[in-house]
C-alpha cells in the first residue's frame, strides 16, 4: 500500500512535527533549571526524570541505528541526549553532596544498563531478532515513563486542584503522542506506535481533568506527612519524556540535605 511506503510524504510530516513538539517537551523543565541556577540549589528536585529520559533517548537512537531509515528518530533523540545531559550536569553542580552521590549512582546504573543491553544485543543477536529485542526494550521503558503521570492524575482528583497539571504541557504531550503514533504507523513499526497509544490516552485524561477541575474549589487535604513525589519533567514521546509538574508550584520543595538540622521533612 502506498500510504505505508517508507518514502510517503506523511511519514516525513509526522516525523518533523514529532521532532518539533518533542523538542518543546524536552525544553519543558527549563524553567525549573533556571530556578535552580538562580537559587544555586536543587531545592529538593530529583534527578531521576532527567536520567530516565537520557537512558530512553540512548535506547531509541540505538534502535533507530540498527533498524535503518529512521533518521527523524535519531535527530530528536540526539537533541534529547544533549538537553538531558545539560540538565544532569546542572543538577550535579548545584546538588548537595548526598544528592550528588545519588545522582551519580543513578547515572552510572543508567549508562551501565545501556552498555549491557548494547553488548548483549550486538554480540549475541543479529538481524530482525536484534531489532525486535531492542525495540521491545524501548517499548517497555517508554510505557513505564508514560505511566508515571498517573500519580499526578490521582493527586488532581484528590485535591480537586490543577496546580500540578500545566495545561499546555499536557496538550503538547498528547499532540506529540499522536505524531509519533502516526510516524510508527507509516513506518509499519508497532514498537514505535504502541507506547504512544498509552501516551495519547493519558495525555487526553490530563486535559479532561484540567477542564473539569480548573474552576473547582480546591479540597483541603490535611496529612501528617505527604510522601515525596518525583517531579515529572518528561514523557517519552514514542521515545521519551516526563512532564514537569513542578513548574507551577508556589511552594518550593525543600532539599532535605540542607535542612537536616530542622524539623522540616522533605516531601
User: Where do the H-state alpha helices sit in 164-249?
Assistant: 167-186, 190-213
In a domain, 264, yes or no: no
Residue 262 lies in a domain: no
pLDDT band for position 200 (cuts 50, 70, 90): very high
For residue 46, pLDDT over 80 is answered with yes
Of 255, 210, 260, give the one whose Cα is nearest residue 47: 255
Give which of 159, 169, 177 is closest to 214, Cα–Cα: 159
Tell me, yes or no, whether 251 lies in a domain. Answer: no
C-alpha span between 77 and 18 (Å, rounded):
11
> Which residues sit opposite 234 in a β-bridge?
243
User: Quick check: is 96 in a domain?
Assistant: yes
Quick one: pLDDT at residue 157?
87
Judge whether 147 lies within some domain. Answer: yes
User: Residue 230: is its pLDDT beyond 50?
Assistant: no
Is residue 141 assigned to a domain? yes
More confident residue, 28 or 262: 28
Q: Which residue range is the domain that position 56 belongs to?
A: 2-243
pTM assigned to the model:
0.75
Q: Of 54-63, 79-88, 137-146, where does mean pLDDT reach its minimum?
A: 137-146
Q: How far is CA 235 from the centre of its chain?
A: 3
Written as one string, the DSSP assignment of 131-143 is: HHHHHHHHHHHHH
pLDDT of 8 over the 90 cut: no
pLDDT grade for 251, boundaries at 50, 70 and 90:
very low
Q: How far is CA 5 from CA 1, 8, 73, 141, 189, in A?
A: 7, 5, 17, 28, 12
pLDDT(125) > 90: yes
In a domain, 252, yes or no: no
Tell me what pLDDT residue 6 has: 57
Total domain count, the chain: 1
Q: Is residue 253 part of a domain?
A: no
The fraction of the chain above a pLDDT of 70, given in percent, is 77
Amino acid at each position: 500500500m502506498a500510504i505505508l511506503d517508507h518514502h510517503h510524504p506523511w511519514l516525513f510530516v509526522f516525523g518533523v512535527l514529532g521532532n518539533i513538539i518533542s523538542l518543546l517537551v524536552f525544553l519543558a523543565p527549563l524553567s525549573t533549571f533556571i530556578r535552580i541556577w538562580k537559587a544555586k540549589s536543587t531545592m529538593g528536585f530529583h534527578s531521576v526524570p532527567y536520567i530516565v529520559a537520557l537512558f530512553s533517548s540512548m535506547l531509541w537512537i540505538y534502535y533507530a541505528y540498527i533498524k535503518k531509515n529512521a533518521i527523524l528518530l535519531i535527530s530528536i533523540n540526539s537533541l534529547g541526549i544533549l538537553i538531558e545531559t545539560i540538565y544532569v550536569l546542572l543538577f550535579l553542580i548545584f546538588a548537595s553532596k548526598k544528592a550528588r552521590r545519588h545522582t551519580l549512582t543513578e547515572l552510572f546504573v543508567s549508562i551501565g544498563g545501556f552498555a549491557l543491553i548494547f553488548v548483549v544485543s550486538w554480540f549475541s543477536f543479529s538481524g530482525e531478532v536484534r531489532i525486535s529485542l531492542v525495540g521491545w526494550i524501548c517499548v517497555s521503558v517508554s510505557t513505564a515513563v508514560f505511566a508515571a503521570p498517573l500519580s499526578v492524575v490521582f493527586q488532581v482528583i484528590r485535591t480537586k486542584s490543577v496546580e500540578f497539571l500545566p495545561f499546555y504541557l499536557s496538550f503538547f504531550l498528547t499532540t506529540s503522542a499522536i505524531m509519533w503514533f502516526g510516524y510508527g504507523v507509516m513506518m509499519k513499526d508497532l514498537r514505535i506506535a504502541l507506547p504512544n497509544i498509552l501516551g495519547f490516552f493519558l495525555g487526553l485524561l490530563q486535559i479532561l481533568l484540567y477542564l473539569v477541575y480548573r474552576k473547582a474549589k480546591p479540597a483541603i487535604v490535611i496529612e501528617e506527612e505527604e510522601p515525596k513525589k518525583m517531579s515529572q519533567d518528561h514523557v517519552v514521546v514514542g521515545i521519551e519524556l516526563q512532564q514537569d509538574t513542578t513548574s507551577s508550584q508556589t511552594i518550593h520543595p525543600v532539599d532535605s540535605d540542607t535542612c537536616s538540622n530542622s524539623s522540616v521533612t522533605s516531601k
